[in-house]
Amino acid sequence: MDVINCDFLVRILFALVLGFLLGLERELTNKYAGLRTHILVCIGACVFTIISIYGFPTFAEGDNVLINQATGIRDTGRVAAQIVTGIGFIGAGTVLRNGPMIIGLTTAATLWISAAIGMTCGVGMYDVAGITTIVAVAVLTLIRVFERRFIPTSIKRNRRYKVSLYCAGTFVEKMHNYLSENVDNIEDFSSKRLVENPEKTKVSSIFELVNKKMAKEIYNKLSEMCSPDSITLQELND
């Protein structure tokens, strides 16, 4: 393998490592786009950038740069520029709207910056790529700690949760009444009797809580109240 190919390999591996670091935070916080998505976005952006610089033949050489004889211009940024637009389609897939609430914006932003880091690796600016990754991970982790410790609960936005459980149909109304009395806003409440077992019903609800500690209390109370076959409680906030 020649030197230039080794250089390409280093750039791609660097993009893989930095994409892993950025995606790890999203994976650990159980977001829609995690390790694999961020790694692939980062590597893809890196490869596209390499292609845009080295992959297209031109017709003449002058001033140590290959140029197009017809125009005298070599546009190495044309393909790379499309990454900025193209990553928007992937990012849009992580943004979800449920009523007045929008979730997934932070994950979309991490995909966007993951593409930027990949492009930076593609041009060999490893110092900029490394610093950007460190700053991005710090923002995702340390700012969350700052918000929890220093921003008063009274001005924080509500956290959204989704609970799903399988229980006897006789508990549906009781569950609805309990949630109506103990959560801030019920965005959705639905129940569906199981075809394979008509005595059992799947119940799901999306609601908001100001205090995250209440989520555990609600989980325990529903488990005690309905004796469900299974129950899950998931935070939906971005």
Rg of the chain, C-alpha, whole Å? 25
Q: Measured between alpha carbons, how far is 71 from 56 in angstroms, rounded to an integer?
A: 15
Whether domain 157-235 has CATH 3.30.360.10: no
Q: What single-letter amino acid sits at 157?
A: R
CA distances from 205 to 126, 157, 194 (A): 46, 19, 17
Provide the pLDDT for residue 97.
Answer: 61
Provide the pLDDT for residue 196.
Answer: 81
Which residue is it, tokens 């149909």? 169
Q: Give residue limits of the domains in the chain.
A: 3-150, 157-235
The whole-model pTM stands at 0.59
Please give the structure tokens belonging to residue 113: 């910056």
Q: Measured between alpha carbons, how far is 96 from 75 in angstroms, rounded to an integer?
A: 37
Q: Which of 227, 234, 233 is nearest to 167 (CA)?
A: 227
Provide the pLDDT for residue 6.
Answer: 82
Q: Render each residue's pLDDT in the chain as its tens digit; 238 residues.
A: 444 578 888 899 999 999 898 888 888 877 767 788 888 899 999 988 888 887 766 544 554 444 454 444 566 677 777 887 888 888 777 776 654 456 777 888 888 899 999 999 988 898 899 999 999 888 888 887 787 777 665 555 677 788 888 888 888 888 888 888 888 778 788 888 888 888 888 888 888 887 767 888 888 888 888 888 888 888 775 5
User: Pairing relation of β-strands 200-209 and 185-193?
Assistant: antiparallel
